[in-house]
Structure 1
Amino acid sequence: MTPPALQRWLVLVLLLAASLSHANTLRRFALVAGNDEGGDETRPLRFARDDARKMHALLGRLGGVAPSDAKLLLDASSKDFLAALTELEARSREAQARGERTALLVYYSGHAKDGALRLGGSRLGFEDLKRRLAAAPADIRIAILDSCRSGALTRTKGARRAPAFEIESGASRDARGLVILTSSAADEDSQESDALGGSYFSHHLASGLLGDADRSGDGRVTLFEAYSHAYARTVADTAASSGGAQHPTFSYDLAGNGDLVLTDLRASSEGLVVPGVAPAGLYYFVDPAGLVVAELDKTPDVERRVALAPGTYRVKRRLGDRLRIGEVEVARGRQAVLEESRLRDAPFSDDPVKGVAPGGGSWWTVGLSGAVQSFFDAPTRESLFLSVGLLGAEAQLHDYFRRDWVWGVDVAVGGKQAVLALPTLSGPAYRYAVTSLGTTLLTEWPHGRVAPFVGVRMAYLVMRRDFADAELPDQRYAMFSPGVVGGLRWQPLRHLHLTGRARLHYLLYTVDEQRSLGFWELGLLVTYQP
């Protein structure tokens, strides 16, 4: 072959190799959204945004999704969601035009009701989303929905309630089509766990993607390995819950024999190796806050790997009558090995899994209040304890003792100028002042951005008369006053709360005679949530 002909062949071979390389490359795009708020007739979630953050980080670290190809939305509207999806679709279309194969993954954690995702006050219909994904310009489209009654999206031919199928093994480049995974059936609620710091389904899906679902031991977790793992563990963990067993569902329409690899544990140089000689059992890996980050169900004589991010973790394995616990540190860029000799026996009371500790799931609001205070008895409010306006400051701690309970402390002051009424003539002038210190415990019933509440309050009141005439002695009266409170809290903005409320209090007056008195307060509270 002459040199010019040889050069032409070499160019042809290089072009063919480049074409095949593009054909075998799977460009991954991910839209990850989490919404704690679901609008009217829903109560705020605690961990939806946290679930989304974890999934976004995991897909970037182990899922082959480049930072520029991932979108993370927190408490966004349906308009924002669709705009982000449109942008990723356009980028996928451009990649396909260059000969690349593409995968589009959409993950949502939040509210769903009446056949629609509830993104704050906006909605996105299940069927609208399904049609959009079916037409998306990507070779593989995957939707993972962690929301109540999301199984309604899989009510089509091919939908199943249990992972009772197998996919032939093969290269993921052969797979094409649409897959939908949901956290619960069409008539079930999706449940959150304080101990896990997230929803059961998202936790077990993420734990599986970190390595627990890698049953083949090849260092890769496929889509159906991850789903089968999440299904089994979610059902097991929710079977005894008050909400009842939760059954994830799936719907798939894939052509070809391939199964998509969602995470490659070999893509990260750091993680934890549990050697084959380590005892069999269920291992829990707990972060410093006491939340379970990952789990590993180890079988005898099999080495397993968990792709933990750099950090320090408590390790727990539960035995029949005690725990085996210890600590392991995963350094950046290095593989740590779990050594059984570094674990110790401990009683069940030393369990490092504490759930959401006080303060971990709670939240504060601080604000300013304005109110009017007045006694029911007319002679009392005209001459003894006058009706006054109050200005105050208040701090409230939400979800500390239990969910939807609020404990608050408040201080308020008020006063006015008056003239002491005497039987036959006008009395001396004085200034009447009130100082109120109070603590309140109430319970709320959140419905979207509105939360009615009732509760009890104990106040310490100080009333004063300071006479203008220095020869007259000032008067002071102080007492405790129990009462009840009720009202409505409204959250127009994420960090702003407006509260209207009424208080009814009892006061026992014992100076010149013993009298039972009552007073009311009507007020408005404006608070900021940091």
Structure 2
Amino acid sequence: MSALPSTLRALAVALALVATAAHADVLRRFALVAGNDEGGGDTRPLRFAQDDARKFHSLLQRLGGVAPGDAKLLLNEDSKDFLKALAELEARTREARARGERTALIVYYSGHAKDGSLRLGDSRLGFEDLKRRLSEAPADMRIAILDSCRSGTLTRTKGARRAPAFEIESGAARDARGLVILTSSAADEDSQESDALGGSYFSHHLASGLLGDADRSGDGRVTLFEAYSHAYARTVADTAASSAGPQHPTFSYDLAGNGDLVLTDLRASGEGLLVPGAAPAGLYYFVDPGGMVVAELDKTVDVERRVALAPGTYRVKRRLQDRLRIGEVEVPRGRATVLEEARLRDAPFSDDPVKGEARDGGAWWTVGLSGGVQSFLDAPTRDTLFLSVGLLGAEAQLHDYFRRDWVWGVDVAVGGKQAVLALPTLAGPAYRYSVTSLGTTLTAEWPKGRITPFVGGRMAYLILRRDFDDDAFPDQKFSMFSPGLVTGLRWKPLSRVHLTGQARLHYLQYTVDEQRSLGYWELGALLTYQP
């Protein structure tokens, strides 16, 4: 009888030890993700830094084990906001460690860097200050991922490498402690963006690797060093022929203990796409509805691969020697789907679903059709003199010719309606009121993914006519140059199709029978195509 209590006590102790070990093996992850397209007056705005940050923030929560409450996303914030957010995560990390939890702090930044500092808008954060802050952070593991020009300055210390050929003992991350820094470029190199990829080369290939392309072991998990090695090789390959030259990511690590940190678990969400072992070998591209490559997968013979795509519809592309093989696949929520080769078809290269602008700094243009309404501001004018009318027109726009993100446009629109002239004592004659508008605009825009706000100036030549049905009344015509302002949003639902909503406010001087200052507004929509 006495043996039973001792057995129970031993079992209780064993369970307690297992529970303690399991608790110690859990790695609580905190993430600060920042993207800033602006770097101050002496830099040119980036196009995709904020988009890269949004993608990485979502990826860490969906597959990277970071709880939504433990992740902070900063978009176009300054260095004070960055340091404040970092301090908040450090405080939470300290509290977690006090409860016996092992912790990891991941800091990702996409944006400008220059003269030894991150450039967050008009503010600065020195490389050495950031490195010191990360070195002193209370987390067991600190991982910094910096996608910016000359970010390799941070790794020019003992232990730094420019190539990914290194070994670290694989195993549980429970034994690893220290600081790891990954950068998108060497200390003397620029980091490059790609319009076709809709992001920077480095962040795209890092994210694609974390979605599954870097999982060379096939265990369904992507480790930190698997992801870096993949991003290094693909970034160098893709930028080798660019005008800026090859871009070499760097790393620096100062780790104690053994083990490699798993950054993403491809099975965490239960959803994604399986490419079976029987599928042909080759490089697969997965393209979103906007024509941007969201992931790539290098498939080898007889090896099953998994890419953890978020739920949605994707175009699949595999390039053959003389043609493409393309198709469409739906990734449902909560479960994986298998890519079936029979659902792909052969197509000429001209049907390539990857439709990035690929301008490489060059100009591009769009043409389109517009519709809208014009109305003068004061009621007496629009009721008796210049009536409110609908407009139909056409517009052509030249993008990035004078300066990046500047758009010069020319437009023409016509409109009209039947009306009756209001006379004091009797019904007036019938006439047709017509408007012809010829305009040119110069706008500045700020691309934010598929949405692009813009604002600028416009000069219009306005021709207003009243053509009477009764020949006893002479036709009337008024024409005048009219300066104005224009603002709006351009949306890109497809790679080469843009839908724009815009508002214009104009001024003109009426000089026929008296001097009058008049204003009018126009609201319209523009559907354009990029050849």
TM range (shorter): 0.7 to 0.9
SS at match of 1:266: coil
The answer to whether the Cα contact below 8 Å between 1:33 and 1:52 also exists between their aligned partners in 2 is yes
Matching residue of 1:219:
220
Matching residue of 1:65:
66
1:141-156 equivalences under 5 Å are 141-156=142-157
Q: CA separation of 1:245/1:405 partners in 2, compared to 1, >3 Å: closer, same or farther?
A: farther
Q: Which runs of 5+ in 2 are unaligned?
A: 359-363, 367-394, 414-434, 447-454, 467-472, 488-531
Cα distance per residue 1:420-474 (max 9 Å; x no partner): xxxxxxxxxxxxxxx995522548699xxxxxx999966346799xxxxxxxx99
The answer to whether the Cα contact below 8 Å between 1:290 and 1:356 also exists between their aligned partners in 2 is no
For 2:97 and 2:27, the matched residues in 1 are separated by: 10
Over the matched positions of the two proteins, sequence identity in percent amounts to 75
- AA paired with 2:439? T
Matching residue of 1:382:
none
The answer to whether the Cα contact below 8 Å between 1:408 and 1:440 also exists between their aligned partners in 2 is yes
The offset of 1:352, in angstroms, is 0.6
The offset of 1:73, in angstroms, is 1.2
- AA paired with 2:63? L
The offset of 1:25, in angstroms, is 1.1
The offset of 1:299, in angstroms, is 0.9
1:159 maps onto 2:160 in alignment: yes
The offset of 1:14, in angstroms, is 3.0
SS at match of 2:230: helix
- AA paired with 2:325? R
1:115-514 equivalences under 5 Å are 115-355=116-356, 401-402=399-400, 403-407=405-409, 437-442=437-442, 459-460=461-462
The offset of 1:48, in angstroms, is 1.1
Q: CA separation of 1:187/1:317 partners in 2, compared to 1, >3 Å: closer, same or farther?
A: same
Cα distance per residue 1:157-191 (max 9 Å; x no partner): 11121112122222221211101111111222211
The offset of 1:43, in angstroms, is 2.1
Q: CA separation of 1:359/1:90 partners in 2, compared to 1, >3 Å: closer, same or farther?
A: farther
The answer to whether the Cα contact below 8 Å between 1:292 and 1:353 also exists between their aligned partners in 2 is yes
For 1:285 and 1:331, the matched residues in 2 are separated by: 15
The answer to whether the Cα contact below 8 Å between 2:239 and 2:246 also exists between their aligned partners in 1 is yes
Q: CA separation of 1:127/1:281 partners in 2, compared to 1, >3 Å: closer, same or farther?
A: same
Q: CA separation of 1:321/1:100 partners in 2, compared to 1, >3 Å: closer, same or farther?
A: same
Q: CA separation of 1:138/1:62 partners in 2, compared to 1, >3 Å: closer, same or farther?
A: same
The answer to whether the Cα contact below 8 Å between 2:465 and 2:478 also exists between their aligned partners in 1 is yes
Deviates more, 1:158-167 or 1:214-223: 158-167
Matching residue of 2:517:
none
Q: CA separation of 1:405/1:67 partners in 2, compared to 1, >3 Å: closer, same or farther?
A: same
* TM-score of the aligned structures, taking structure 2 as reference length: 0.73
The offset of 1:13, in angstroms, is 2.5
Q: CA separation of 1:400/1:145 partners in 2, compared to 1, >3 Å: closer, same or farther?
A: farther
The offset of 1:22, in angstroms, is 1.9
The offset of 1:15, in angstroms, is 2.7
Matching residue of 1:21:
22
The offset of 1:406, in angstroms, is 3.9
Matching residue of 1:381:
none
SS at match of 1:39: coil
For 1:3 and 1:399, the matched residues in 2 are separated by: 86
Cα distance per residue 1:56-85 (max 9 Å; x no partner): 111111111111111111111211111111
The answer to whether the Cα contact below 8 Å between 1:235 and 1:247 also exists between their aligned partners in 2 is yes
- AA paired with 2:321? G
For 1:268 and 1:398, the matched residues in 2 are separated by: 45
For 1:304 and 1:25, the matched residues in 2 are separated by: 27
Residue-pair matches, total:
453
SS at match of 1:40: coil
Matching residue of 1:36:
37
SS at match of 1:87: helix
SS at match of 2:233: helix
For 1:162 and 1:399, the matched residues in 2 are separated by: 44
The answer to whether the Cα contact below 8 Å between 1:398 and 1:405 also exists between their aligned partners in 2 is no
Cα distance per residue 1:460-491 (max 9 Å; x no partner): 46799xxxxxxxx999766697x9x9x9x9xx
SS at match of 1:267: coil
SS at match of 1:112: strand
For 2:232 and 2:113, the matched residues in 1 are separated by: 20
Q: CA separation of 1:214/1:359 partners in 2, compared to 1, >3 Å: closer, same or farther?
A: farther
For 1:75 and 1:456, the matched residues in 2 are separated by: 29
Matching residue of 2:50:
49
* TM-score of the aligned structures, taking structure 1 as reference length: 0.73
Cα distance per residue 1:270-319 (max 9 Å; x no partner): 11111111111100001111111100011111111111111111100001
**CA RMSD, Structure 1 to Structure 2 (Å):** 4.7
The answer to whether the Cα contact below 8 Å between 2:397 and 2:410 also exists between their aligned partners in 1 is no
The offset of 1:31, in angstroms, is 0.7
Cα distance per residue 1:140-163 (max 9 Å; x no partner): 100001111111111111112111
- AA paired with 1:404? W
For 1:437 and 1:77, the matched residues in 2 are separated by: 43
Q: Which runs of 5+ in 1 are unaligned?
A: 361-396, 412-434, 447-452, 465-472, 490-530
The answer to whether the Cα contact below 8 Å between 2:396 and 2:411 also exists between their aligned partners in 1 is no
SS at match of 2:247: coil
SS at match of 2:161: coil
- AA paired with 1:149? R
For 1:454 and 1:330, the matched residues in 2 are separated by: 41
For 1:399 and 1:236, the matched residues in 2 are separated by: 34
